[in-house]
Amino acid sequence: MPTPRLQPRDTHSPARDSVVLAVYAPFGSDPVLSSFPDGSSRQLAQHPLVNSLLQIAGSGVHVTALVDLVDDDTYLIDIPAGQPASMQTVSRWKQDMGSPNTLAGFLRHAHELHATSDLVLALEGHGAGFLPEIDRSKLTVANLTLQGQVEWHITSAGGSPVLPQGSPMLPQGSPMLPQGSPMLPASQMPLSTWGLGDALKQATDAGVPKLAAIHFNNCFNMSVEVLHTVAPYADYATGYENYNFFTAGAAYPAVFQKLAAAGSATAQQLAQWFADGNKDILAAKGNHPTVGCVVQLGRLQAIVERIDDLADALLAALRTSTPAQRPTVVSKIRDAIRRAQQFDTNANMDLEAPDELTDIDSLATELMAVDFAPFKVQQAAAGLRDALKDIKRYGAVDAPWTAPGERWDFSAKNLAMNIFLPDPLLLGLWDWRSPYYLDVNPDPTLPRVQPHLIDFVKVTDWVDFIVEYHKGQPFKGLLPAAIPEFPVFNARYEPPKGRQTDPCGDGDIPKGEDKPRRA
Give me the sign of the Cα torsion angle 310, 315, 317, 318.
Answer: positive
Give me the sign of the Cα torsion angle 311, 308, 425, 413.
Answer: positive
Residue 486 lies in a domain: no
Question: Quick check: 170 pLDDT over 80?
Answer: no
> 77-91, 142-156, 257-271, 410-424 — which is least confidently predicted?
142-156
Rounded to the nearest 10 degrees, how much is the dihedral formed by the CA atoms of 467, 468, 470, 473? 120
Question: Quick check: 458 pLDDT over 50?
Answer: yes
Split into its structural domains, the chain has a count of 2
The rounded distance, in Å, linking the Cα atoms of 263 and 413 is 32
Please tell me what DSSP assigns to residue 149.
T
Specify whether 161 is located in the same domain as 62.
no
Specify whether 238 is located in the same domain as 155.
no
Length of the chain: 519
The rounded distance, in Å, linking the Cα atoms of 471 and 493 is 44
Q: What is the mean pLDDT of the chain?
A: 86
- Band of residue 444 on the pLDDT scale cut at 50, 70, 90: confident
Specify whether 451 is located in the same domain as 362.
yes
The rounded distance, in Å, linking the Cα atoms of 224 and 463 is 13
The rounded distance, in Å, linking the Cα atoms of 161 and 444 is 26
Mean pLDDT to the nearest integer, 75-95: 96
| Helix (H/G/I), strand (E/B), else coil: 71 | coil
- Band of residue 135 on the pLDDT scale cut at 50, 70, 90: confident
Residue 1 lies in a domain: no
Specify whether 210 is located in the same domain as 341.
no
Distances (CA, A) of 12 to 8, 38, 113, 276: 8, 49, 24, 30
The rounded distance, in Å, linking the Cα atoms of 188 and 484 is 9
Question: Quick check: 103 pLDDT over 80?
Answer: yes
> 124-128, 130-134, 194-198, 483-487 — which is least confidently predicted?
483-487
Specify whether 198 is located in the same domain as 182.
no
Higher pLDDT, 144 or 318: 318
Specify whether 98 is located in the same domain as 182.
no
Specify whether 63 is located in the same domain as 143.
no
E-state strands within 323-366: 342-343, 357-359
Residue 8 lies in a domain: no
The rounded distance, in Å, linking the Cα atoms of 364 and 313 is 12
Residue 292 lies in a domain: no
Question: Quick check: 507 pLDDT over 80?
Answer: no
pLDDT of residue 148: 74
Question: Quick check: 158 pLDDT over 90?
Answer: no
Question: Quick check: 173 pLDDT over 60?
Answer: no
Residue 515 lies in a domain: no
User: Domain of 110?
Assistant: 20-130+189-243+254-277
Computed on alpha carbons and rounded to an integer, the radius of gyration of the chain in Å comes to: 23
Percentages (nearest 5) of helix, strand, coil residues in the chain: 35, 15, 50
Question: Quick check: 513 pLDDT over 90?
Answer: no
Question: Quick check: 161 pLDDT over 70?
Answer: no
Q: pLDDT, tens digit, for every residue of 11-58?
A: 777 778 899 999 999 999 888 899 998 887 778 999 999 999 999 999
Question: Quick check: 339 pLDDT over 90?
Answer: yes
Sheet holding 418-420, edge to edge: 342-343, 357-359, 418-420
The rounded distance, in Å, linking the Cα atoms of 396 and 411 is 6
Residue 443 lies in a domain: yes
Specify whether 197 is located in the same domain as 150.
no
Specify whether 321 is located in the same domain as 421.
yes
Residue 59 lies in a domain: yes
Question: Quick check: 494 pLDDT over 80?
Answer: no
Specify whether 229 is located in the same domain as 126.
yes
Burial class (CB in 10 A: 0-12, 13-18, 19+), 85: exposed
CATH number for the domain harbouring residue 193: 3.40.50.11970
Write down the H helix ranges in 141-266. Answer: 141-144, 193-205, 224-230, 252-262
Mean pLDDT to the nearest integer, 157-166: 44
Specify whether 343 is located in the same domain as 201.
no
Are 361 and 388 in contact, with CB atoms under 8 Å apart? yes
Specify whether 377 is located in the same domain as 447.
yes
The rounded distance, in Å, linking the Cα atoms of 268 and 292 is 14
Q: Is 262 left (phi over 0), alpha (psi -120 to 50) or beta?
A: alpha
Residue 501 lies in a domain: no
* 309: Cβ contacts below 8 Å, ≥ 6 apart: 380, 383, 384
| Helix (H/G/I), strand (E/B), else coil: 500 | coil
